[in-house]
Amino acid sequence: MFNKSKKNAQADTPQKSSGGGSNDHRTEERLNFTEVMDECEKEVEEIKKEVLTFKQQNFFQQIIRKSISSTDVSGESLYKIHPTKVAKKVLNRLRARPADMRTRLELITLAKKSGRNLSYQNHRTFFIQANVACSLGAISAPALQIAISSQERFFAKLGEKCQDEYNWIEGKLKDVDSKNENIQSQLQQIGEHMRELQVTLTIVKAFQKQTLRGLQGKRENPGTQIDKESILSLDEIQNYVVDEGMVEEAQRAEDMKNIMKKGREIAFMIRYTPLLYPAAHQMLELITKLEPDKPLPYFFQARVSMTALNLSVSHYQGEQKPELAKKVQENFKNAYSYYSTAVGKIGPSTKSSTDFTILLEYGSLIHYYYKIATTLLGRKPPRDWLRNVFEKAQDALLTAHESGKADSLLRDIQKDMAAENFQIT
């Protein structure tokens, strides 16, 4: 999801004048949002890769791999946060089976119960390990609550770290002689760094706001047990797809209902976890094969892509980089594709509340992207394409008229059409 940046250097902050008498030898810390998230994403992928490799090896190969691995495959960092006898037992279980999601999450909840004032690095560890657990092929609603709450605290700590760094540099600069020609270039670099900190803080707040929406006011209980029955694994879905002709019709209908119920809850939570988007789409692509002629599976995908679009817009508003603009467009294309497919599966005389929601969100997406393209990206889509999607959005909202929620959005779409001199139905 995130784009790579080459900024890693740390620069010394100008010292206070001799009258300040400061003994603070701290240096500036680069806290660029893209870099921070790239590093987290890379670490998650490295641990995941190690775990999957570990599963494929024999006992002796596993022992050797554990001794040479540089990644935190077994969650040692979690144990060190709160090294109790109980945590030690859980750690030993995880060492034996590092792909066990429930054991990894159990170790996270134990570490969170330390009662100490946990650091930014501690919360980064929770964030990494929760994403590892949820990207290993099995996801549950309770597991996602842990992942989302870990993410929320990580973003909160990152925001605090940015603000602390900004305040520290600001304090150091108060006694600096700005007329001294020898430090002019340093002051310019530090000014750029302070602006970068402000940008990162703004982006972090936007991401944290979305994360809080994902929590929906619920925070995980540190003692939560992961309900095995609530876990939806890729293997479970794949086996169900493959064994289509081998299950009785009544049982298959019941299984389908159960999977779709799990899928809906998971899809609507996982959309707030950006590092889990690959795992989400992998799972949801399989779910679309279960009911390819119905709109709901595509709606799952659309919701994930829509939240990804919102986050990428917040990211671009902060850093204003061309590669981030491309990410905005890519996320829009994904969301548009899934919403369009879902809308295409809805009949002309629908009465379903879910169908109405799909139609309304499709119209909202078109209006939202038109504003983004014209005001944020500064590049209007091709005129013929724009006319086509506006007409489709108008039709969708007219179909959703009975919901009682379409009128205001329909007026917005028609204002957009009038601004482009398009014919209104």
Cα–Cα distance measured from residue 116 to residue 172, given in angstroms and rounded to the nearest whole number: 30
387 in a domain, yes or no? yes
Shared domain for 200 and 342, answered yes or no, is: no
Residues 41 and 176 in one domain: yes
Task: State whether residue 169 is helix, strand or coil.
Answer: helix
Does 245 reside within a domain?
no
Residue 66, pLDDT score: 53
- The answer to whether the CB of 33 falls within 8 A of the CB of 200 is yes
Residue 418 has a pLDDT of: 96
Are 312 and 271 a contacting pair, CB within 8 Å? no
Same domain, 160 and 266: no
Confidence (pLDDT) at 245? 58
* Residue 275, pLDDT score: 96
Q: Which phi and psi (to 5°) does residue 139 adopt?
A: -130, 140
Q: 138 forms bridges with which residues in the sheet?
A: 233
- What are the strands, taking DSSP E only, across 284-409? none
Q: Is residue 143 included in any domain, yes or no?
A: yes
Q: What is the pLDDT of residue 54?
A: 73
- Distances in Å between the Cα of 68 and the Cα atoms of 47, 62, 73, 129, 418 are 13, 10, 11, 20, 65
What is the predicted pLDDT for the residue at 23?
A: 45
**The Cα angle at residue 65 between residues 63 and 68, in degrees rounded to 5:** 115
Domain count within the chain: 2
In one letter, which amino acid is 381? P
Residues 184 and 254 in one domain: no
Residue 260 near residue 290 (C-beta atoms within 8 A): yes
Please indicate, yes or no, whether residues 257 and 181 belong to a single structural domain of this protein. Answer: no
Residue 14 belongs to some domain of the structure:
no
**CA–CA gap between residue 93 and residue 107 (Å, rounded):** 10
208 and 287 co-located in one domain: no
Q: Is residue 228 part of a domain?
A: no
Give the domain range for residue 94.
33-215
pLDDT at 30: 78
What pLDDT is recorded for position 337? Answer: 97
The pLDDT of residue 104: 94
What pLDDT does residue 367 have?
Answer: 97
Q: Same domain, yes or no, for 58 and 147? A: yes
Is residue 293 domain-shared with residue 191, that is, in the same domain?
no
Closest by CA position to 221, among listed 113, 127, 78, 139: 113
Candidates 366, 420, 353; CA nearest to 395 is 366
Last residue of a domain, one of 215, 230, 265: 215
Q: Which of 191, 215, 239 is the last residue of a domain?
A: 215
Residue with tokens 């936007």: 206
Evaluate whether residue 205 is within a structural domain.
yes
Q: If you count DSSP H runs as helices and E runs as strands, how many of each does the chain have, helices first?
A: 16, 2
**DSSP character at residue 5:** -
User: How high is the pLDDT of residue 139?
Assistant: 86
Residues 349 and 402 in one domain: yes
Residues 6+ apart with CB under 8 A from 288: 297, 298, 301
In-domain check, residue 378 = yes
Per-residue pLDDT of the chain (425 residues; tens, 9 = 90+): 555 444 443 444 444 433 344 445 566 677 999 999 999 999 999 999 888 887 765 555 555 555 545 568 889 999 999 999 999 999 999 988 898 989 999 999 999 988 788 999 999 999 999 999 998 877 888 889 999 999 999 999 999 999 999 999 888 887 776 666 667 777 888 888 899 999 999 999 999 999 999 887 555 554 456 666 667 887 778 777 766 555 677 877 888 888 888 888 888 889 999 999 998 988 899 889 888 999 999 999 999 999 999 999 999 999 999 999 999 999 999 999 999 999 999 987 777 899 999 999 999 999 999 999 999 999 889 999 999 999 999 999 999 998 999 999 999 999 999 999 999 97
CA distance linking residue 92 with residue 384, whole number of Å: 61
Please tell me whether residues 150 and 94 are part of one structural domain: yes
Helices 277-290 and 249-270: crossing angle in degrees, nearest 10, is: 150
Does a structural domain hold residue 239? no
| 242-275 residues labelled b (16+ CB within 10 A) or e (exposed) | eeeeeeeeeebeebeeebbebbbebbbbbbbbbb
Which of 314, 367, 308, 305 has the alpha carbon at shortest distance from 337? 305
Q: Identify whether the C-beta of residue 109 lies closer than 8 Å to the C-beta of residue 87.
A: no
Task: Tell me: do 410 and 279 sit in the same domain.
Answer: yes
Contact 358, 331 (CB under 8 A): no
State how far the Cα of 271 lies from the Cα of 113, in Å rounded to an integer: 27
- Helix, strand, or coil here: 179? coil
Q: Which region, left, alpha or beta, applies to residue 379 given φ > 0 means left and ψ of -120 to 50 means alpha?
A: beta
Token pair belonging to 65: 């791999």
Residues 262 and 360 in one domain: yes
Q: Strand, helix or coil at 42?
A: helix
